[in-house]
Structure 1
Amino acid sequence: MCTTDRRTLIVDAAIDQIARQGLRALTHRALDTALELPAGSASYYFRTKRALIEAIVDRITTRSRDDFTAAQLAPTGPIDPDATAAGIAVWLDHLVAERRNQLIARHTLILDLLSDPELHTRLARSLFSAERARELFHAMGIPDPATAAAAADFIALLEGAVFDRLAGNRAELTPGTPESVRQFATLLTIYLRGVIA
């Protein structure tokens, strides 16, 4: 196994460890045990816990950017709020279904990293892009500087909707179902229609 593959394997195991057992359970030794690696393997690739957490932040950020690109959600041409909400709803549903452990680890780390402004900021911006949100509202005809405020509010809405699905009132709603997509779409449609009203 090459170094890059082993590093990725360790980072993914760390994400799963945080999601299943919490941040306190994340140790180099626990990762070695979980992956059946020789003792000291995780600490060889990530000398400190902070280095491991930095790699987790990078992994979540890269995956988020790749997913967004694959979903082809960047605005092109006139924006229909209902169609835009439906497209983003499908993407959010996929996010919650396919990346549950990453999302749980991210929320856990965001709170833990409040005292580390550099890593906290990187992680807070890892899932949704303020720049892409501003592009959306600009394409919807929202004038500057109102686009920045609309984008920030929209990201707050997305963050809340995702958290609600992980640990809130709608945690029981099964992702990957029409009901799940519909709930996201309804919420987003209300916001997007309100912005252009």
Structure 2
Amino acid sequence: MPMRTERQQMIADAAVQTLAEKGARGLTHRAVDQAAGLPASSTSYYCKTREALLELAMDSVLGADFQDAQDYLFDDGSVNFEALLSHFSRPSNRQRGLARFELFLEAARNPHFRKLLADYRSMLVTLIAERMTQNGVGDAERATQRGMVDFETRLFHILIFPDEEAASGS
């Protein structure tokens, strides 16, 4: 993740907040300026296009996700998707989770963002598969892919139906 100025980080955080609250269609320079409490046109100074704004948000979300994966996936010395799911399920992480899925939908329609997401996933698969291989898991890459799909599916459900998860004790 590239180094950002304080202002750029403020804009990135506001872009993630805007994605979570208003969806990708609501992500505009004006909406991000308002969410960040910045004067009009501040965001457009740093992100000239909507694509640049989306890319900043994606970089922010995926960078934080990758750091969390490193911190939580291996908390017991092995690959622990449950610890990561528990972390991402916390109400304090809900906003980033919603923004992440907005970005996934954007990637489904935009080849540039699909490549950014594919590159990120490849880096994450490599990280996890290497740890699984160290722990003696056969066909670690396939196991990692399955684990990630299960994780993303369960997280999506938790984000959409948080009350069901709380009631089930998960």
Q: Which TM bucket (shorter chain)?
A: 0.7 to 0.9
Aligned to 1:112: 106
The TM-score normalised by the length of structure 1 is 0.71
Q: Compute the displacement of 1:25 (Å).
A: 1.4
Distance 1:163 1:125, change over 3 A: farther
Aligned to 1:48: 49
Q: Distance in 1 between matches of 2:126 and 2:22?
A: 34
Q: Distance in 1 between matches of 2:133 and 2:75?
A: 12
Q: How many residues align?
A: 165
Q: Distance in 1 between matches of 2:156 and 2:102?
A: 11
Q: Compute the displacement of 1:124 (Å).
A: 5.4
1:129 aligns with 2:121: no
Q: Compute the displacement of 1:125 (Å).
A: 5.9
Residue by residue, what CA displacement relative to the aligned partner does 1:80-99 show, whole Å, maximum 9, x if unpaired? xxxx65xx423321222132
Residue by residue, what CA displacement relative to the aligned partner does 1:139-182 show, whole Å, maximum 9, x if unpaired? 34233xx22211111111111111111115x65323xx9932xx
SS for the counterpart of 2:164 is: coil
23-32 or 126-135, larger mean C-alpha shift? 126-135
The TM-score normalised by the length of structure 2 is 0.81
Amino acid at match of 1:94: H
Q: Distance in 2 between matches of 1:48 and 1:56?
A: 13
Q: Compute the displacement of 1:34 (Å).
A: 2.7
1:100 aligns with 2:94: yes
1:150 aligns with 2:140: no
Greater relative contact order (Cα < 8 A, sep 6+)? 1
Provide the identity percentage: 28
SS for the counterpart of 2:169 is: helix
Q: Distance in 1 between matches of 2:30 and 2:157?
A: 33
Aligned to 1:161: 154
Q: Distance in 1 between matches of 2:127 and 2:35?
A: 38
Root mean square deviation, CA, Å = 2.7
Q: Distance in 1 between matches of 2:23 and 2:100?
A: 11
Q: Distance in 2 between matches of 1:95 and 1:23?
A: 21
Aligned to 1:189: none
Q: Compute the displacement of 1:16 (Å).
A: 0.9
Gaps of 5+ in 1: 181-197
Aligned to 1:194: none
Answer yes or no: is the 8 Å Cα contact 2:129–2:141 preserved in 1: yes
